[in-house]
Structure 1
Amino acid sequence: MSGLWYDQFSVGQVITHAIRRTVTEADNITFTTATMNPAALHLDYAAAAETEFGQPLVNSLFTLGLVVGISVHETTLGTTVGNLGFERTTFPSPVFYGDTIRVETEVLAMRESQSRPTQGIVTFVHRGLNQRDQLVCEATRNALMRKAPA
């Protein structure tokens, strides 16, 4: 377990995650087809070439999953009860094949659970940036976290 207990977080805390990941064509095609998304923008080189981007875009839901996934080892691995949901997610810049994504997580808010005395809710803001330091994903997420064992 490398995640943090509820008690180890503090509002305003920023975690710069050690793991980075370069996105590949195989990542995008596998994710996009597995999730039944037929959008030409992700799968059709000829159609994508005619867009303003001139190339296929990486599926934004893959980007979201990658950004949250990179954060897990240093935030919630082994210490979360569950993901409660996302309040807001934006994709300010596109992700392309070959982009390397790094992630920073900020603790936005915390509150103890009223119904579960051994748990609390942490609101995280996960920010994914590419190798040019462009923000490619920002997601505000609520997680139900365990408190440290007594």
Structure 2
Amino acid sequence: MPYLEDFEVGQTHRFGRYEVTRDEVLDFARRWDPQPFHLSDEAAAKTHFGSLSASGWHTAAMTMAMTVAEADTREGGTLGAVGIDALRWLKPVKPGDVLRVESEVLEVRRSEKRPAMGSVRSRTTVFNQQDEPVMRFEPIVLYRRRAG
């Protein structure tokens, strides 16, 4: 991951590719979000989803997997996150979808209490293979500074 000084407001980054599988949707739902429309084609057909769809939390987890995979290819100092604002699931994610991520930096702040670090707030949007946004949120991530 980059350091705090590598970020500027307005900067954008596109990354990731994640193929959503039926088995993964079912496995995640069984363990973490066992609602009928995540577990059964028949139950999902009776809802506004129309067919089996991934849990929104699964979509968030897949996004995290893409983010970590991208971070492993970059050098620097991420220190975790303080939270997520404005999380919205915009469109159901279905088995067979292929997801990708776009992120835009909204704010870069140096920490007054901890001079060796700061935070970056960004708007992250996850898209499916048809370039339709399926999820949007604003993570606030902590980064090391090159010089404290």
TM-score (norm 1): 0.89
Do the aligned residues in 1 keep the contact of 2:37 with 2:49 (CA within 8 Å)? no
Task: Give the SS at the match of 1:131.
Answer: coil
Do the aligned residues in 1 keep the contact of 2:81 with 2:140 (CA within 8 Å)? yes
Task: Give the SS at the match of 1:68.
Answer: helix
Do the aligned residues in 1 keep the contact of 2:121 with 2:139 (CA within 8 Å)? yes
Which of 13, 25, 46 is matched with 2:42 structurally? 46
Compute the displacement of 1:75 (Å): 5.3
- Output aligned runs, 1:88-103, within 5 Å: 88-103=86-101
- Output aligned runs, 1:10-49, within 5 Å: 10-17=8-15, 19-35=16-32, 37-49=33-45
Distance 1:105 1:68 in 2: 13
Cα 1:38–1:74, aligned 2, differ >3 Å: closer, same or farther?
closer
- Output aligned runs, 1:105-144, within 5 Å: 105-144=103-142
Task: Give the SS at the match of 1:67.
Answer: helix
Distance 2:11 2:115 in 1: 23
Cα 1:127–1:16, aligned 2, differ >3 Å: closer, same or farther?
same
Do the aligned residues in 1 keep the contact of 2:78 with 2:141 (CA within 8 Å)? yes
Do the aligned residues in 1 keep the contact of 2:117 with 2:145 (CA within 8 Å)? yes
Distance 1:38 1:66 in 2: 17
Letter in 2 for 1:41: F
Compute the displacement of 1:27 (Å): 1.5
TM-score (norm 2): 0.90
Tell me the residue number matched to 2:2: 4
Runs of 4+ off more than 6 Å:
none
Letter in 1 for 2:139: R
Do the aligned residues in 1 keep the contact of 2:44 with 2:51 (CA within 8 Å)? yes
Distance 2:70 2:2 in 1: 7
Gaps of 5+ in 2: none
Task: Give the SS at the match of 2:129.
Answer: coil
Tell me the residue number matched to 2:59: 63
Letter in 1 for 2:138: T
Paired-residue identity, %: 32
139-148 or 64-73, which deviates more = 64-73
Distance 2:139 2:97 in 1: 24
